[in-house]
Every structure is written in C-alpha cells, then in structure tokens.
Amino acid sequence: MTNLIRAELQKLFTTRLWWAMALVMFAFTAFGLAFLIAQAGVAPANGQPGLPALDDPAWLPLALSFASGANIFTMILGIVLMTSEYRYQTITGTFLTTPKRGRVIAAKLGAGVIVGVFFAVISLLFTAVVAITAVLIGGGSIDLTAGRIPQLTLGVFATLVLYALFGIGLGALVRNQVAALIGGIVWAYVIESILGAFPALQTVGKWLPGGAAQALMNIDFDTGLGESNLLPAWGGALVLVAYALLFALIANVTTTRRDIT
Amino acid sequence: MTAIEIRNLSKSFGAVRAVDDVSFTVEAGTVTGYLGPNGAGKTTTLRSLLGLVTPDSGEALVNGRRYASLDHPLNEVGAVLEATSFHPGRTARDHLRIMTTAAGLPASRPDEALEQVGLADAARKRVGGFSLGMRQRLALAGALLGQPKIFILDEPANGLDPAGIQWLRGFLRHLAHDTGAAVLVSSHVLAEVEQTVDNVVIIAKGRMIRQGTLAELTGNGGGAVRVKTKDDFAPALRAAGAEVEEVEPGLLRVKGLDAEEIGRLALDQRVLLTEVAHERSDLQSVFLDLTGEGERA
C-alpha cells in the first residue's frame, strides 16, 4: 500500500498543477489577510461592531482561521487526482498495474490525506507568518497556546484533509473533470457559503462539511447576522469523519465494478 | 500451462453483443494475430483478458488465472492498449516511474525499458509533444517494465511509420521466438501482422470466424489464377498444359500456370488480357472480404 500511495503522490507531483494550486492558494490567502489587516479595528459607520483590532487577542485566531480557506485547493487536487485518470485515460494503465481496484482507491484516499496535511502545513505557516508579523507591528502580543488556537489549527488540518477526500469522492462519482470542478466549487463557495453564513440556514448548514469544519474551529465571529448555530466541536469532528467515510465509500463503489472501455 | 486462454467469452454493452462466444488460446513462444475489422470486438476481448471489462459469461485467463487476481500483474503480463493513455504534462520517464513505484519494481527499469524501445533520448520530454509513434513506443516500454512472459497488444502498429512497423514486427518476433513469450496482437490491417504472426484468429461482429496458422494464411489458394479476357483464350491455355475452368463468360480460372506464364502465352497468341491475378488464399479472402479491403484489392 505504501508503494501505491507513493505512486499516487508521484502522479500529482510530476505534473504542474500542484504548485500552481500552491501559488494561487498563497495569493488567495494573502488577499484575505490584507483585507483583515486593513479593516482591523475599523468600526462601520452604522454602529455595528467591526473586526477586532490587531492588538485584540481575538484578531489572531480569526486571521489564522483563514488558513482553512485553502480547502478549495485541496478539494481541486482531490478532484483532479481522480478525474485526470479518466480525462487522460490513464485509469487504464493504473488498473493494469493494480487490478485490485479497491487498493487504488485506498491509495488515492491515502494520498489525499497527505496532500491535505501538506497544504495545511504550508497554508498555516504562511498565514501565521503574515498574521503574527501584523500583530507585532500592531502592538499586540502573541500567545499561540491561548484561546482556541490549538483547536483551530487542528480544525485547519481536518478541513483541508477532508476536502481533499471530498474531491476524490466527487471525482469518482462525476468523472468528468470540468463538471466535477464546477460542481465542487459551486458547492464549496455558493451552497455551503449561503447555508453556513446565515444563522437561520445553519440548521442545515451545520451538518455540511463546511459547517462541521467551522464548528471544529469554533470561529464564533459575530458577522452581524445573529448568533451562529453550529454543532459542538466534537460533533463537528464526528460529522467530518462521517463525511470522509462516505466519500471513500462513494469512490470505492463507483469505481470497482465499472467497465473501463 | 497455457499462457492465454479465452473460453466461451461473451460480453454485451447494452443491446450490442460486442463479443459472442469467443474461444482461443495462445501458447508460449508464439505470436497470435487477432484480426478483424474495426468494431469486431477485438478490444473488448483484450480488455476482458486484462480485467478492465467484466465479461457476461465465459472466461479470459492469463497463466490460468484471472488478471484481476494477479498480485504482480506487470511481472506476468505486458499490455499495450490505446496510445492516448498518457497525461500530456508528464514526461515519458515519469510515466514509467509511476508504474514502477506502484508495481514495486526496481527503479532502474524505466530507463532500461526506454532504451529497449529506442526512446532514451525523449525520456525527459513531456508526452504532450510526442508523435503517435512515440506514444506507441512508450506504451510498449510500459509493457516491458516487469519483464513479463505474456504480451497483449491492441493495434500497436497504429500511428507507426513504415520503419516503425518494421521495427515492431522484429521486436514482437524477438519477444516470442527468442525470449519464449506468448504474444497476442490485434490488428484491423492484415499487412501489418502477416509477416509477424504464427497463428491467426479472425473475428467479426463479435463472433469468431476462423482460426488458423500462418501457413494457411499465406498459402496462395492452390495456385489458381483468375484471367479476364474477351478473346477465346481457353484452348491455348489447355494446349499449354493448364487446367481451365470458365467461371463465367470472359472469366477463366486457370491452374497449372502462373501469372507470368499466362501473360507470356497471351503475348504469343496476341490475346488481350484485362486482368490476371493469383487467387487469394482462403483466410486472406475471409479477412479481406470482412474488412472491405476485398473490393479494393
């Protein structure tokens, strides 16, 4: 199995996509952090509470939670890990080399976990360096063991890993690369955003992967839309594990019996 | 043990019966040509043999086992399917490295296999820039990685230039006759394989039509020559010792003389011939008629 996971990682790292994803991820995170830094402590004119100031202990966890925004990129890599096999018909060679297809799926999921962890590390490092620098410049002090930071870090890892697995499951189900990418992005950016942002819709949204990840990270930031309605952190973790198993099952069932013509 | 055994294999896709009760075997040390027009069911047969397609009934076995049950398939079977199965952004060497890693083969195999198929110079180039012929060679390199004793190739000559086809013929013969491998190679063009194969299996519309040896394939149909002429040529032919049958007015079937002798005789007799041709052998006729090449030939 180690050999198969290594082969899956080679598939990813011998094409150019992964570092393109990493670059876009840095740009995306940098953009979000720039906004967060610029708006820190600025109260909107209508009297609503604004973002915490840079020297407010609540600012750093909020900034670090932006590292989980890289979930979209691990999802894309997961989708591509599966669908590029169909797009370029390399699935034929993959199954010739490993005819026991369940092992291929297991290896892809294993590679997905590693990709998720890898991106979580680089995303967290990048976010932390930028955010900590901003806090220090803003006159705040740093305590990485404080408050929710350890749990939040764990949440970033869980989110990025889970979305990689989600991508693999989605890719196995849809197979058409473009359709899977569009579906995945619409899901993560439109459906989950809407169902996760409005507390009234969170009765549904909290059961989705995005909502569950939010619960795990426990980013209880007042968006001015009312009190959030999320699962407890352990509930979020359980929901995420259940989704991971579901995606693995989808990938396995849709792939093992199909004729490759 | 029989290297490749196909027994009563049937497979339908929806209402289309792609393969219908096909049976044949391939022994070690021989090259078998699996011939038929496009859409005859060749690819489905080969994919069933390789565990990519699940047959409805019957069996397709390599070394007596189903491919999907093999623990080290690349060490037992080398397969070349369509030449498009590569990620265009990956280099030739990386493509083979991935297979090598997954199969747990020595890391030196990719370079050795590329050398063997004459692609060593292109090893670090992206496959996207490869010609069809180079892709075929790369696919063949993949089949060689595990140094197997069974080779299954689907239309490997597609996209090769004449020199490439010549090279492929020699290579397949070398695999079978020098290394003792069993080789099953499909084609829809008789000329591509007729100088390579020991045995032939012909399939059309999913059903097996004929099975025979190379000798039967290349036999010249008993030496008969078809002669078209509007002149009264039969008496002269008989006088020269030939056996003549008038198939229809103006068309003679001549035995006992070859085309050159008939032509010379016609010249002497001032007879105008509009066509002189050796009759095709039985297997050739069957195949050429199936593929529609018969009308053009």
The per-residue pLDDT for A52 is: 81
B161 belongs to a structural domain:
yes
Does the beta-carbon distance from A88 to B142 stay under 8 Å? no
* Domain count across chain B: 2
Local confidence band at A227 (pLDDT 50, 70, 90 cut-offs): low
Q: Could you give the count of Cα atoms lying within 13 Å of A229 in the half-sphere of its Cβ?
A: 12
B88 has a chain A CB within 8 A of its CB: yes
Q: Which two tokens stand for residue B12?
A: 């339908």
A173 has a chain B CB within 8 A of its CB: no
Local confidence band at A243 (pLDDT 50, 70, 90 cut-offs): confident
Does the beta-carbon distance from A14 to B67 stay under 8 Å? no
* Shared domain check, B173 and B37: yes
Query: What residue ranges in chain B does DSSP mark as E strands?
Result: 4-13, 16-26, 31-35, 57-62, 77-80, 150-154, 182-187, 199-204, 207-213, 225-229, 243-248, 251-255, 273-278
Interface of B with A in 4-23 (CB under 8 A): 13
* Mean pLDDT over each residue of chain A, to the nearest integer: 84
CA distance B49 to B3: 11
pLDDT tens, position by position, B145-175? 999 999 999 999 888 888 888 889 999 999 9
* Shared domain check, B225 and B200: no
Check whether A222 has a pLDDT greater than 50.
no
Which residues, given as ranges, of chain B have pLDDT below 70? 83-84, 216-223, 280-286, 289-297
B287 belongs to a structural domain:
no
Q: Is B155 left (phi over 0), alpha (psi -120 to 50) or beta?
A: left
* Shared domain check, B118 and B82: yes
B296 belongs to a structural domain:
no
B152 belongs to a structural domain:
yes
Measure A18 CA to nearest chain B CA, in Å: 12
Neighbouring residues of B151: CB distance < 8 A, sequence distance ≥ 6 = B77, B78, B79, B80, B143, B172, B175, B181, B182, B183, B184, B185
**By CA distance, what is A95's nearest residue in B?**
B52
User: Among the listed ranges A12-16, A128-132, A190-194, B128-132, which one has the minimum average pLDDT value?
Assistant: A190-194
Neighbouring residues of A40: CB distance < 8 A, sequence distance ≥ 6 = A51, A52, A53, A54, A56, A59, A134, A138
A4 has a chain B CB within 8 A of its CB: yes
* Shared domain check, B169 and B49: yes
- Domain assignment of residue B263, given as a range: 221-280
The per-residue pLDDT for A152 is: 85
**Which residues does residue B254 pair with via DSSP β-bridges, in sequence order?**
B225, B244
The per-residue pLDDT for B24 is: 93
The per-residue pLDDT for A244 is: 78
The shortest CB-CB distance from A84 to any of B44, B53, B87 is to: B87
* Shared domain check, B61 and B203: yes
Interface of B with A in 139-158 (CB under 8 A): 142
**By CA distance, what is B102's nearest residue in A?**
A4
pLDDT tens, position by position, A185-211? 998 888 887 887 777 777 777 788 777
Q: 10 Å Cβ neighbour count for B91?
A: 19
DSSP output for B112-124:
HHHHHTT-GGGTT
Query: What is the mean pLDDT of the segment spanning A70-81?
Result: 91
A92 has a chain B CB within 8 A of its CB: yes
The per-residue pLDDT for A138 is: 82
CB A224 within 8 A of CB A230: no
Write down the domain spans for chain A.
Answer: 2-26+53-256
Residues of B in contact with A99 (CB under 8 A): 50-51, 67-70, 73
Measure A112 CA to nearest chain B CA, in Å: 16
A256 has a chain B CB within 8 A of its CB: no
ipTM summary value: 0.82
The per-residue pLDDT for A147 is: 65
Does the beta-carbon distance from B98 to A10 stay under 8 Å? yes
CATH assignment at residue B268: 3.30.70.1150
3-state SS, residue B93: helix
